Amino acid sequence: MVLSYNLYDNTFIAVYVIVMAFIFGAIFASFITCAAWRVVRGEDWIHGHSHCDTCGHELSTMDLFPIISYIALKGKCRYCGAKVPPRDLIFEIALGLLFAGTIAVHGAIDPLVIEILVLEVLFLGLSLAEMDTGKAPSGFLLSILITWILFAGFMADVRHYVLEGVAASLAISVIMYAVAKLMSSARKQKVEIDIRPFAVCMLFTGLDTGVVALIAACLAGIVIMLISRKKTFAVTPLLSIGTVFALIFGESIIQALFINTGILTGFI
Ligand SMILES: [Zn+2]
């Protein structure tokens, strides 16, 4: 049995679900930014307590409401008055909007959309941790791998989900290994590429949408580098953007580009 509810069968329920998605997105962003921050500092990320970075005062539940606490306290610490950077607020609003947008575009509540939402949370944590440390923490990568395994049981076509995912994951691993080898010989020094984030992302996309994910990641990289004027940027955030984009829009893009135009008709 495949569980699925068509969102637009009832307008009231659709609006309610989309608003709730925004709230849950903000709550999960608050949790995952905190977890990523603790992973980066080597703190216990489940049992640790949040505290002000300036005065060290432990934060109460009242200080930790996503978005609302920041606005109510006018972006300052309740205890010492120090300004709190708006970084967390921005991520809470962004993930809230991403959650709401994902459900609105997908138009149904089913295992695939829940899987995308879980991935969005884990990708945010992974990206923040990598931007802070320059490395993708194994804990986040393992959580993403476990998500893929757990959701296999809920997919309509389990065999296709597993085979496509593993094939794409192996293919990208071989390609990135070859790219690293080629770059090493061209530059005459060892170039290392962390293959793990590529391998776990491709498990979710499979082969065809995987290509959409990689192209979207490259385009996102070009846009971000042009805007920020940086010459380098962490790979995982780009890969996360590409993967989420491909999971939401990939099938429709492939459908529109190849199948509707008849380019692939000869092969199918
Ligand atoms: Zn303080």
Residue 127 alpha carbon to ligand 1 centre in Å: 26
pLDDT digits (tens, 9 = 90+) for 114-165: 999 999 999 999 999 998 888 899 999 999 999 999 999 999 899 999 999 9
Residue 171 alpha carbon to ligand 1 centre in Å: 49
Pick 231 or 200 by higher pLDDT. Answer: 200
Q: pLDDT band at residue 249, thresholds of 50, 70 and 90?
A: very high
What is the pTM (predicted TM-score) of this model?
A: 0.91
Amino acid 262: pLDDT? 67
Residue 56 alpha carbon to ligand 1 centre in Å: 6
Has residue 177 got a pLDDT over 90? yes
Domain boundaries, the chain: 6-109, 111-268
Residue 86 alpha carbon to ligand 1 centre in Å: 15
d(CA 140, CA 33): 12
Using CA atoms, how far residue 116 sits from 40, 160, 205, 246, 250, in Å, is: 24, 18, 11, 10, 13
pLDDT digits (tens, 9 = 90+) for 2-31: 578 999 999 999 999 999 999 999 999 999
Contact 198, 239 (CB under 8 A): yes
